Structure 1
Amino acid sequence: MLAHKNAPEHTFRKDGIFYFRRRVPSDLSHHYTSRQIAFSLRTRSAPVAAARASRAAQQLDEHWYHLRIKDRDLPGKHLLRMQQATNVPIGHAPPVAMEGASVKLSEAVAIYLRLKGRDRPVTFKRAAERSCGYVIDICGDKDLLSYTKADATRFRDVLIERELAGSSITRIFGTVRSVINFAASEIGVTLNNPFTGIYYDRQSGVTDRASLPVDVIRTVQGECVKLDDELRWMVALVSDTGLRLAEAAGLQLEDINTDAEIPHVVVREHPWRRLKTSTSAREVPLVGASLWAAKRILSAAKDTSFAFPRYNKCEQTNANSASAALNKWLKPMVPERCTMHSFRHSMRDRLRAVECPADIVDQIGGWQTEGIGHGYGQGYPLTVLQKWMKAVE
């Protein structure tokens, strides 16, 4: 067994054949039956050995990263490949994927989150873990190349049996496809993703949120003025701007400008509250109830930079808590199937009713406008937006 001074990293030569060798990190030693990993690279060529050793080292790094992850809430965690006590003889390494090999779905999730999960909200991580955890629970934690169309259709059938709505099934399948495709691309594996092209009724169990009639909106706004507190200011602000609830809940005081020639609110991304899409960043004129609410928010602010401090006590805006509280308050006053998000639907209908051009509607609501040309320029000025907002006031 000879260590050649010019041998590629993580290799040594024996009888002219290159071997891979790497020590197991001390914090992961309990997963292995040997203190080092060693196996033949089956080549006498230094360049070939270097390429194979580099690939094996990268795959070990991925696997060790996966072993270090503490996924307490991951469904199917009991099926993750943890390389616990096996029948591997002492002195031999656990199998490492080489040319044409794959990784297990649990490892694919680790690759996906490590490379694509940086600076993403916690919901991104949860979606990947939850969706792929469902696959692991139902079909097992297999190599990506081992999943079949039968696995995918069985997975679909179980989700349907659990009475998930078509929209939920679509999100789950979309996440699983993304994880598999990304991981396969990263490790250089070509596959036909079996979770593509699976049929199910996408409208099953889906209930459209209804818009709020204008007279109901006026009634709710009147109640907001009567109660005149932080929660009602949020409702009023959303009611005449069409902001998403999370957009409103994560506002800073400096995002609200009531002293400008055209009072407006600036919707922009913050570390504590991301925006749904790039087109969500925008300025929306303040009129009617939203202007009243903005002034009340600024006048009541003390020792805080947030418009709604009760929902910004942690690292992330707690929009879910705001939604639960406000929807409970709204329920007796609004028609069935109407929620806080219905104000956003209503704003689009109200703008349609005054024949507002569709691209202006999209800019006010932060919706994506189709067509390449709409991506050019800065959009409509606040004076134009205010004209149409006043028309629906």
Structure 2
Amino acid sequence: MPFSFKKRSYFYFIRHVPSDLSHHYAVRKISYSLRTKSPRLATKRSLVAAEQLDEYWGKLRGDSEQIPEQHFAATDPVRTKETGSSAPDLGPLLSDATSQYLHLKGHNRPKTFATSARRACSYLFETSGDKHLAEYTKKDATTFRDALFERGINGSSVGRVLGTIKSIFNFAVNENGLDLRNPFSNVYFDRSIGVSVRQPISIDDVKKIQNACLVKDDPIRWLVALISDSGLRLAEGAGLLIDDIHIDSAGISYVEVKPHPWRRLKTASSERIVPLVGSSLWAAKRIVEENDNGFAFPRYNQDDQTNSNSASAALNKWIKQIGSDTATMHGFRHSMRDRLREVSCQSELIDQIGGWSNSGNVGQSYGSGYSLKVMHDWMKKVVIQ
């Protein structure tokens, strides 16, 4: 395999500096990890690195622009000639920039904040290595994008990964006073690739699932039933306290959706009050009657963070056995929006019930919203008989 060797299962790039150019470098050879165990990826990355060096060395023998792997260089003759200064500040390594980012911005954030940042960086290290910020190029960014899709990651997730890298890069540039353009900005990709459209659960399936919940009558089914007639997100329901559930308060039962240390909310508009009707009201009463733990669903709150992923896998499997193969827990939210539309409920009221934000309508941010009674009256209209 050209320009590479293997060490402890990982491949490394290696290239000896030509003797006629040795005075430009502080080392006799350039060597660094290619961050992969894959021979195919290692070959691709080593050939790209070698091509960049050959291109530069050809120019260096006449004149130069930018030194690939410049942190190995003793001098930058072009910058020295033009500015009379020493080599430019290349900024921190991306790994160090990530540590700085998490240290300063990671306080009071869920574990997923740090996990997502480190995962995004590990993906980039596999394609381009851990380099100083100034050494990353637009080619690195587009190669990174392509590699993410090759992994089978869908367009929506690729957007989140690229957004994380872009945020880390911008933060480090600002914090360290660097004059750098972010190569990960304005990287084109198709967000629709690999994204499946979530379908609402049909009314017939909702009724079948609700009836099955009544028969089973256990904590897992209480969570399904609670969500089925409320439109709550799964994490919102799974992270509730008993004290968040209010039964027959002034003649109306409701659930209070608010942030907790173990379960943050998706958006600011997610904090809301949702009336309880139909199967959701039945489930809420069963939870309050049978549970003295403090948590509405203790099995999903045994650590310092609500384990909604575990709940999602188990519940999705069960409801598919009752309803259609396309039924998912999130499908109840889509279904609730359709059910409210069918009774001619105003979109602004639907958004308030479901905690959907509508940044395109400034007027909706005025006032305190619809009353609990008004929401309750509309929710009663969508109960499936």
TM-score, scaled relative to structure 1: 0.74
- 2:93 equivalent among 74, 97, 104: 104
Instruction: State how far apart, in whole Å, the 2-side matches of 1:76 and 1:338 are.
Output: 40
- Distance in structure 1 (CA, Å) of the matches to 2:347 and 2:87: 54
* Displaced runs of 4 or more, over 3 A: 75-78, 97-101
Given residue 186 of structure 1, which amino acid in structure 2 is its aligned partner?
A: E
Comparing 370-379 with 339-348, greater Cα deviation is found at: 370-379
Equivalent of 1:354 in 340, 343, 348: 343
Match of 1:263 in 2: 253
Deviations 1:118-176 (A, max 9, x none): 01000010110000111112101111111111111111121222222111111111111
Among 137, 143, 149, the alignment partner of 1:154 is 143
Aligned-partner residue type, residue 387 of structure 1 = D
Alignment deviations for residues 62-106 of structure 1 (CA, whole Å, 9 cap, x no partner)? xxxxxxxxxxxxx9699xxxxxxx9xxxxxxxxxx9984411110
Which residue matches 2:202?
A: 213
Candidates 108, 113, 127, aligned match of 1:124: 113
Ranges in structure 2 where 5+ consecutive residues have no aligned partner:
1-33, 38-71, 73-85
Q: CA deviation at 1:333?
A: 2.2
CA contact (8 A) 1:327 1:339 kept: yes
- Which residue does the alignment assign to 2:269? 279
Contact 1:112 1:179 in 2 (8 A): yes
Structure 2 CA distance, aligned partners of 1:129 and 1:113? Answer: 9
- The aligned amino acid for 2:256 is V
Q: Which residue of 2 aligns with 1:239?
A: 228
CA-CA distance at 1:334 after TM superposition? 2.5
Contact 2:90 2:135 in 1 (8 A): no
Partner of 1:377: 367
**Would you say the 8 A contact 2:252–2:373 is kept in 1?**
yes
Q: Which amino acid aligns with 1:183?
A: A
Bigger drift between 355-364 and 366-375 goes to 366-375
Residues 90, 133 of structure 2: 8 Å contact kept:
no
Partner residue, 2:290: 300
Between the aligned residues of both structures, percent identity stands at 52
Paired AA for residue 328 in structure 1: K
Q: How far apart are the structure 2 equivalents of 1:118 and 1:369?
A: 28
Aligned-partner SS, 1:263: strand
Letter in 2 for 1:266: E
Distance 1:98 1:281 in 2: 51
Q: Secondary structure at the match of 2:381?
A: helix
CA distance in 1, matches of 2:89, 2:378: 60
Deviation digits for residues 256-280 of structure 1, max 9, x if unmatched?
0112121100001111111111110
- Residue 335 of structure 1 aligns with an amino acid whose one-letter code is S
The Cα shift of 1:378 comes to 1.8
Q: Which moved more, 1:102-111 or 1:159-168?
A: 159-168
Paired letter, 2:370? Y
State the 1:316 CA deviation: 1.1
TM-score, normalised to structure 2, is 0.75
Contact 1:77 1:133 in 2 (8 A): no
Q: Is residue 76–residue 134 contact of structure 1 (8 Å, CA) maintained in 2?
A: no
Matched residue SS, 1:265: strand
* Structure 2: distance between partners of 1:233 and 1:107: 46
For residue 121 of structure 1, what is the amino acid of its counterpart? P
